[in-house]
Amino acid sequence: MNNQQKKLGLVSVVAVCLFMAMIFLPTKTFADVAFEIHKVENASAPNYDNNGYEEPSGLDVSKPMAGAKFTVVDLTSDFYGSYMQTYLDAHSGAKRAEVYEAYVAMLKLENNTEIKARGSVVGSESGPTEPEHGVVTIPNIPETSGGKDAIYAVLETTPPPNNISVEEWETATMVVGSVPTIVALPMYGDDGTTKLETIKLYPKNEVGGIEKVLGDGTENSPYKNVQIGKGIYYTIKFKVPNDVGTKLANGHYKYRIIDVVDIPGVGLTVDRMTIEKIEGEKGTWIGSQARDDNYADFDVLSFPELYSEPLIGNGRATAGFVFEYNPDKVTSPSAIKWEDLAGATITVSVDGHINHEADVNESIKNKTRYSVWQDDDTVIVPGEDEVESFTQMYKFKKNDSVTGAPLAGATFKISVLNEVGGEEELSFVEETAGVYHVADSTESGVPTLSVNENGELIIKGLDADVTYTITETNAPAGYRLDTTPIEFRPMTKEQLEFQSYDRFGELSESGNYVDGFHNIYNVSETVLPTTGGKGFIVFTVASLSLLGISAVFFMMKRKVKALAKVEDENK
């Protein structure tokens, strides 16, 4: 089946069959009708009956799509005028119904601009009258035009914004628009004699689609939570419209440009984008087969050109690919053709890293936009998708192990297990006193972190899926150094809604246990050795108590000896 035949299979069959019977009915009543247009999700299924008075079988009208706008074009004079005469001259003896069927077939190969040029617009573009039901009602449509039964084209001139359908692609599809719907009046009910005053139309959707996933796309993706300086990987999958390979009456393809752009947000740098796979009805091309100039009649351009340098995200700058039809290109017959892209799913992989601009108070947004250009330069955006990554912080505080008072002067190092199980010390950049972020590859970081005058140490740019180790390298003046490593794991914002950085066993003194910090205690040089915390107080008190008991016992012993001596002298 060629592309034009496929295209005909997609049309909303509104009046082809009915017109064959209706066009000869003797009705010249001058009246108006209303078009009740229903935009629904799964109207992209194979051909279905659209008879004007009932819901087509197989359509789930419970899933409406709001936001589409439609324009009605009167084609009556175009059909009854030059087209009919030209057709009859070329096909002697053809019936009027045959002429009409050929006319509809021709219109299916034209875009909205060309169809509008054939006739006159009735009224203006009409928007939703019942948005919640995806219904657009256009009243006052004349049943006749120029003394003849009217013929209209109903064009979707504004597609529904960001409406996702679940048909035709296992993940998600985006409705590009709908195929022109041709209506020949009058139309009749199921009894064949009652004229319809309200004609229900269910335009057939054209679909594209886009989906972006982090890592392998699972809930446990390692790139949901990230650390500054570390790499990030995600894929972009977009579905090419089914009609990309359909040629119009002018010989041009309906769509001539496809592009997909990545829009990294603040905190994300895109290092590389690669076309990994093209999967379509005509075949599957993987790896170098899907790129390396293996294209027969179209070009694929990357931007920035060849990625001469990474793209640092700011929420506006873009990186991506442009697929553009090029009829003058000559390559191997086995190369991928523009027609092969029809309905195909193209997978693009992206490698990047988290840079030091990442803000722990904001998600790192990462949007993708997918667009197609029609032959008349109309740009349609079949879809956008966005994923988010998060980088986190952790808060420590240095305190006296008895009073809970904050201590200045301590320094630390932080390490993490690397991919081969070894310990890797991280480097940091100081933002303000006691506030650091993990250094990325463009920064000169230091391994030592110092608390501020309030004993506070705040570390940003950490991964909530990673366990880190902090170790003291220098104690506050007058305090003992404690080199015991302390493991900690950053918390997500959701976790912080129910808990803080406070840890079990922190002192009540100075409000340590509710100050919002993970308190690390130091023991003064002037007290007995201890492991720190409340335990050393008990040990000290116990020691002093024992000394007291010994002193009392010694005094009592001396007193007993003195009394014994006096008794001996009195004898």
Asked whether residue 123 falls in the same domain as residue 244, the answer is no
Among 148-157, 219-228, 434-443, which is the least confidently predicted range? 219-228
Query: What percentage of residues in the chain have a pLDDT greater than 70?
Result: 78
Among 105-109, 324-328, 456-460, which is the least confidently predicted range? 105-109
Asked whether residue 383 falls in the same domain as residue 436, the answer is no
What's the whole-number average pLDDT of the chain?
A: 81
In a 3-state reduction of DSSP, which class is residue 475?
coil
CB 355 within 8 Å of CB 461:
no
Counting the structural domains of the chain, the total is: 4
Q: What are phi and psi of 325, to 5 degrees?
A: -65, 135
209 vs 183, higher pLDDT: 183
Query: What pLDDT, on the 0 to 100 scale, is given for residue 205?
Result: 76
Asked whether residue 102 falls in the same domain as residue 162, the answer is yes
What DSSP string runs through 295-360?
Answer: BSSEEEEEESGGGSS-EE--SS--EEEEEEE-TT----TTSBPGGGGTT-EEEEEEEEEE-TT--T
Average pLDDT in the 392-419 region?
94
549 is a domain residue: yes
Query: What pLDDT, on the 0 to 100 scale, is given for residue 305?
Result: 66
Pairing of strands 32-38, 456-462: unpaired
Confidence of residue 174 (pLDDT cuts 50, 70, 90): low
Asked whether residue 241 falls in the same domain as residue 171, the answer is no
Q: Which of 149, 169, 203 is the last residue of a domain?
A: 203
Residue found under tokens 């059909």: 79
Q: Which of 389, 416, 442 is the last residue of a domain?
A: 389
Asked whether residue 486 falls in the same domain as residue 570, the answer is no
Average pLDDT in the 172-198 region?
82
Asked whether residue 140 falls in the same domain as residue 187, the answer is yes
Average pLDDT in the 163-168 region?
45
Indicate which CATH number applies to the domain containing 156. Answer: 2.60.40.10
* Domain interval for residue 437: 392-522
Indicate which CATH number applies to the domain containing 357. Answer: 2.60.40.740
Asked whether residue 383 falls in the same domain as residue 413, the answer is no
Average pLDDT in the 171-196 region?
80
Choose from 122-131, 190-199, 358-367 the range with maximum mean pLDDT.
190-199
Q: Which of 180, 203, 226 is the last residue of a domain?
A: 203
Asked whether residue 307 falls in the same domain as residue 423, the answer is no
Kindly tell me if the per-residue pLDDT of 21 is higher than 50: no
Reduced 3-state DSSP string for 221-239: CCCCECCCCCEEEEEEEEE
528 is a domain residue: no
Query: What pLDDT, on the 0 to 100 scale, is given for residue 64?
Result: 78
Confidence of residue 551 (pLDDT cuts 50, 70, 90): very low
Positive or negative: CA dihedral 525, 530, 533, 539: negative
49 vs 213, higher pLDDT: 213
Confidence of residue 255 (pLDDT cuts 50, 70, 90): confident
pTM: 0.63
Asked whether residue 373 falls in the same domain as residue 491, the answer is no
Asked whether residue 169 falls in the same domain as residue 142, the answer is yes
Q: Tell me the C-alpha distance between 55 and 49, whole Å.
A: 9
CA distances from 23 to 13, 184, 316, 458 (A): 16, 8, 55, 80
